[in-house]
C-alpha cells in the first residue's frame, strides 16, 4: 500500500514538473522597417514585453532589413503578428489572410514631400526631372500614393527615384542634398531630431487615410487574438503604456478592421505596386 502511494506521489510530482518546465509558446511579430533596426528594437521591445506580461505568451521581434524584404515575408505568411502600412494590410489580407486588429484611432496617415528649407523648390510641378528619395516603391504614404498622383494628376511627371530603405534615410538624403526632395509620412517626420526636421520643409501632402494597423495571421487562434487586442487596449489606458505607444507613434490605440482600409482599393494603386 505504501509502495502504491509512493508511486502516485512520484507520478504527480513528475507531471507537475513537466507542466512547470513546458516552454512558453513564442509568436513572431514583424515590424515594417520605417526606422533603423536599433530604433525599432528600442520602440517595440518594451511594448512586446508588456504584451507578454498581459497575454502570457512570448513575442519574438522579427526585423526586416528593407521594406521589400518585409513585403516578401508577410506575403509568405512568415509573421504571426505584424505592424504594417495600410496598403500592406490590404495586400497581406489577399495574399495570406492577415486580419487588422488595432490601430491609432486619433490620427490619420498622410504622405509628405520634403525639400531642404533653403531650396527654391516650392511645388510638386518643380520636381520634374529631379531626384526624389523614397524608402521603397511600396511605402504607402511616402512613395506609392505620391507616385500614383504624380502620374495621374501631374501629366505623368518624370523624375528619378532614389530608394534608400527607410524614412530616416530619406530625410537624411534630402538634408545632405543627395536628392532634390524626399517622400515620407508626417508621423516619421515628427519623430526626426530637430537637427534634421528643422532644416527641411514640407511642400506637399497626400490625402489622409487610416493609419498603420497591427495585423494577425489567421493561423493564430481567435482566443489568443482577442487576448492580444484586449492587452493592447489595456496598455493604451496606462500612462506608461501610452508613453511607449507614443514612440511608434500611436496617439490612442483602438480596434481596427479590414473595412477601415477598403477606401484604399478605390485609389487603384495596384498598377503602381511593385511585387
Does 11 reside within a domain?
no
Q: Which of 210, 205, 182, 186 is nearest to 266 (CA)?
A: 210
| pLDDT value of residue 23 | 60
The pTM assigned to this predicted structure is 0.79
Give the three-class secondary structure for 126: helix
Same domain, 104 and 215: yes
CATH number for 223 = 3.40.190.10
Whether 47 maps to a domain, the answer reads yes
Inter-residue contact 111 to 235 (CB < 8 Å): no
235 belongs to a structural domain: yes
What pLDDT sits at residue 16?
A: 44
> Residue 253: beta bridge partners?
104
The reply to whether 61 and 102 lie within a common domain is: yes
| pLDDT at residue 36, as a whole number | 87
Contact 171, 202 (CB under 8 A): no
Q: Where are the alpha helices (DSSP H) in the chain?
A: 2-21, 37-55, 67-75, 86-96, 145-153, 167-175, 186-190, 194-197, 222-237, 239-246
- Is residue 12 assigned to a domain? no
- Over residues 204-216, the pLDDT tens digits come to 999 999 999 999 9
> How buried is residue 273: exposed, middle or buried, by Cβ count under 10 Å (0-12/13-18/19+)?
middle
Domain count, the chain: 2
Q: Which of 205, 227, 242 is the last residue of a domain?
A: 205
Residue 47 is placed in which grid cell? 511594448
Mark whether 191 and 216 lie in a shared domain: no
Residues of the chain with pLDDT under 50: 2-22
Contact status, residue 133 vs residue 178, Cβ threshold 8 Å: yes
pLDDT value at residue 28: 98
Residue 227: the pLDDT is: 98
Please give the pLDDT value at position 129: 98
Please indicate, yes or no, whether residues 34 and 65 belong to a single structural domain of this protein: yes
Q: Are residues 187 and 223 in the same domain?
A: no
228/81 Cα distance (integer angstroms): 10
Q: How far apart are CA 170 and CA 139, in angstroms?
A: 12
Q: Are residues 242 and 257 in the same domain?
A: yes
Secondary structure of residue 85 in the 3-state scheme: coil
The answer to whether 140 touches 85, Cβ cutoff 8 Å, is yes
Q: How far apart are CA 66 and CA 14, in angstroms?
A: 47
The range of the structural domain enclosing residue 141 comes to: 111-205
pLDDT for position 34: 87
Instruction: Compute the half-sphere exposure of residue 28: CA atoms within 13 Å on the CB side of its CA.
Output: 13
Determine the Cα–Cα distance for residues 5 and 11; give it in Å rounded to an integer: 10
Sign of the alpha-carbon dihedral angle for 177, 183, 186, 189: negative
Amino acid at each position: 500500500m505504501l509502495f502504491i502511494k509512493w508511486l502516485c506521489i512520484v507520478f504527480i510530482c513528475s507531471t507537475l514538473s513537466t507542466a512547470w518546465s513546458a516552454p512558453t509558446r513564442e509568436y513572431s511579430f514583424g515590424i515594417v522597417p520605417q526606422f533603423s533596426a536599433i530604433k525599432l528594437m528600442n520602440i517595440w521591445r518594451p511594448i512586446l514585453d508588456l504584451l507578454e506580461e498581459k497575454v502570457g505568451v512570448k513575442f519574438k521581434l522579427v526585423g526586416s532589413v528593407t521594406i521589400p524584404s518585409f513585403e516578401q515575408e508577410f506575403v509568405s505568411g512568415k509573421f504571426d503578428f505584424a505592424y504594417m502600412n495600410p496598403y500592406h494590410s490590404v495586400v497581406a489580407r489577399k495574399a495570406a489572410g492577415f486580419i487588422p486588429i488595432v490601430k491609432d484611432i486619433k490620427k490619420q496617415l498622410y504622405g509628405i514631400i520634403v525639400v531642404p528649407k533653403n531650396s527654391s523648390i516650392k511645388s510638386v510641378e518643380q520636381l520634374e526631372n529631379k531626384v526624389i528619395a523614397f524608402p521603397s516603391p511600396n511605402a504607402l504614404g511616402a512613395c506609392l500614393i505620391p507616385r500614383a498622383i504624380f502620374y495621374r494628376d501631374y501629366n505623368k511627371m518624370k523624375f528619378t527615384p532614389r530608394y534608400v530603405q527607410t524614412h530616416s534615410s530619406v530625410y537624411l538624403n534630402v538634408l545632405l542634398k543627395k536628392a532634390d526632395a524626399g517622400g515620407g509620412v508626417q508621423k516619421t517626420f515628427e519623430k526626426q531630431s530637430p537637427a534634421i526636421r528643422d532644416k527641411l520643409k514640407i511642400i506637399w501632402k497626400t490625402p489622409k487615410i487610416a493609419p498603420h494597423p497591427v495585423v494577425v495571421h489567421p493561423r493564430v487562434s481567435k482566443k489568443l487574438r482577442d487576448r492580444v487586442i484586449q492587452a493592447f487596449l489595456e496598455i493604451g489606458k496606462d500612462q506608461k503604456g501610452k508613453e511607449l505607444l507614443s514612440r511608434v507613434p500611436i496617439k490612442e490605440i483602438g480596434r481596427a478592421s479590414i473595412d477601415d482600409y477598403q477606401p484604399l482599393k478605390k485609389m487603384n494603386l495596384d498598377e503602381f505596386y511593385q511585387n
